[in-house]
A and B are shown apart, each in its own frame.
Chain A
C-alpha cells in the first residue's frame, strides 16, 4: 500500500544558480556595481573617500525610508504619506523646540508620538475598511501636506521655520542624529550608521523572526495567512507604524542637520522610496522583496544623484537615468519570476 519513497526528480535540489537568480536583491546588486563603476571611471572625485562620503549621505536618508517602505510593500501595502511625513516630523521638532520652547529631545519625542499616530491611523483605516492602501495613504498625504503648510504659516507666518541652534538639548540631539563621524580623515554622516543598522535589523526581522514570516505571508495572501491564525491586522498596523517611525527618523535627521524645517519638505519623496524598494526587488503585489535590496536601490539613487554632478552633467539627466533604472529593474524582476514559475508548470 505505502508507496516506496522513490526519489522524485522534482525534489532534486534547486541549482545554486537558480537560487541566486531568484534572490530579490540580485538585480539591485548588479545595478549598484554597474553604476559605481560607470561614475568611478568618469570621475576620480567620485571614487575618492570624500566622494564616497558624499554619495553615501543621500543614500542613507533615502535608504532608511526605502528599507521601511520595502517591509511595508512585502507586507502588501503602500504608504504614499511617508514622504510628506518626513516633512511633518521635521516641522514638529522645529516648531515645538523654537515656538513652544520645548527641550529639543522632548520635541523629538513628541514628534515620534505624532508619527506613530499617523502610521497607526493609516494602518487602522486600511485594515478596517479594506480599501487599497494606495487610496487611504494618498488621502493622508494630502491631509499632511495641507497641515504642514497651514499650521506652519499660521504659527510662524512663514514657510521656513528656523532657529534650532542653541535651544536646550540641541547639541546632544545633533550629535545623535546629524553629526559626522571621522574615519581616516573623511567625514561620514552619522545617518549612514543609522541606515546600516536599520538595514541589518530589518533583514534579521524579515528572515529570522516570526514577525518576518508573517510579513511575507500577509503580503502574499492575507486570507491564507489569517486561516492559519496569523494576526494579519496587527502585522499591517506594525508595518505602517514602522514606516512612520522611519519617516520620523529622517525628518528629525534633516531638521537637526539644517537646523530648520521647510513646510513643503518631503513632498514627492514617497515615490522615490517606492522606486528604490522596487529596484531592490520588491514586487508591487507584495509577498516578495528584501531590505538589503531596498538599501541597494537607495545606494543607486545616492550614487547617481551625486555622480551626475561630479561627471559635470546637467542634473536634469538624473530623473531620466532613474526612470530607465526603474524600468530595467521591473523587467528583470518579471523575467526572473517567470523563470521561477516555469518550474511549477513543468
Chain B
C-alpha cells in the first residue's frame, strides 16, 4: 500500500527548507499554526514568523504590505477563512496590485471531516480562479505540494495553494517535476480522459484500475494548476479520447470542472461529466463517509466515465 502524507505537512516541511536558503520568506498565520503546519517555520525562524491572531483580513492585508516591501510572504489559515473571510483583502490589496503574496490554505474540502460544513471549504477554487492574475494550485500529494511551494516561491505574483488536512496516498516519486500551468500525465489511454486535482487524483488513479479490470483504458491527467489551466493538455485529451470527466473535492460550480468546460465548449466540445460536490454545503462525518456521501469516490468516477463514454458519438 502506498504511504500517506497530508499536503499540509509537506507545506510545513517545504517552508523550513526554503526558509534556510531564502531569507526573504516571511510566514504569517492567524492562530492556527499547529494545524496549518507553519509552526515548524515559526520555531526555526521566529524573527520571520508573524502571528496575527484570529484576524484573517488583517493577515492578508499585512502579507500584502510585506510583499510591497520586497518580502515573499506566505499567509496561512484554513481555506474557508483565508479565502472567504479575507476575499476583499485578497482582491483589492493583493490581486489588484499584483502583489507577490502566497496564500497557502489548509483544511480545504469535505475531508476536513468532523468539524462540519462551516469548516469544509468548497468554493475557494472558484473564488480564487475568478481573480485576474491569481495562480491557483491544488497539489495531489505531499511530493507535489512540496514542489508547488518551491515553484510558488520562485514565481513572481499572487498564488493560491490549496492544501488538505488528511493523509493522502503519495503518488509521485521524489524527483517529480512540477511546473506551474502544466498537467502531469499519470496514465495514458484512449477511451476517455479523467482530469483531477487534489485528493481526487488518488481516487481517480483507483478508478483507472477498476476500469482497466473491465477492459476500459482511460487517460488520467493530474491538473494541479487550475489557473493558468493547461489548455493544450485539455484540448489534446478531448481530441484524442473524445470524452472528459473532471474530479474535484469542490463545488461543481466554478472549480476545475468549470475551468475545463470553459475551454472545451469554446474550442473542442466533447461529452463531459463533472464529479464534485453538487452545489451543497458539507456536514460532520469522517472523511471517508463524506467522500462517499458526496459522490467523490473512485466508484463515482468510474460511473461518470461510463456515462460519458455512452454519450460519445
Same complex: no
